[in-house]
Amino acid sequence: MVPFPALLLLFLLVPLVEIYFLIVVGGWIGALPTVLLVVATAVAGAALARHQGFATLQRLQATLARGEAPALEMLEGVLLLIGAVLLLTPGFFTDLAGFVCLVPATRRWLALRGLKRIIVPPSPPGSGPPGSADGSRTLEGEFHREDD
């Protein structure tokens, strides 16, 4: 969980960085080309997000058809959504972060890295309760049902 001060810093720092880059780029190429460039990146990002989203959906369906858990594809879908939102946000810094989430190679790397942090490895043999050789615990007993 991200603490409140980190979120506050993020919401203050990102707009300041965006404004700085917009002013710098506007000084180099002019105001109208800067606005057109921001709009062009949003349109290109939306098209790329749509294309990559369909490709990820097809991989997800293929993974489900094989009977496997689609953890990687689900995380890639979340990254695609984040990337699309970042690309629709005006600015060059968020556009760069959005394109990083939409490019298949970097998106897969981020997803794999995220999965390594999320998935808990199985416990090694012998780490179970005392008396169990393989770490499992079997309870034996009998039961009967008493119907009213």
Q: Where are the domains of the chain?
A: 14-117
pLDDT at 128: 53
* Residue 99, number of CB atoms within 10 A of its CB: 17
CA separation (Å) from 123 to 58, 114, 135? 33, 20, 8
Lowest-confidence pick of 6-10, 44-48, 100-104, 117-121: 117-121
How high does pLDDT run on average in the chain? 83
pTM beyond 0.85: no
What span, in angstroms and rounded, lies between the C-alpha atoms of 134 and 144? Answer: 30
What span, in angstroms and rounded, lies between the C-alpha atoms of 41 and 87? Answer: 7
Q: Name the E strands within 4-148.
A: none
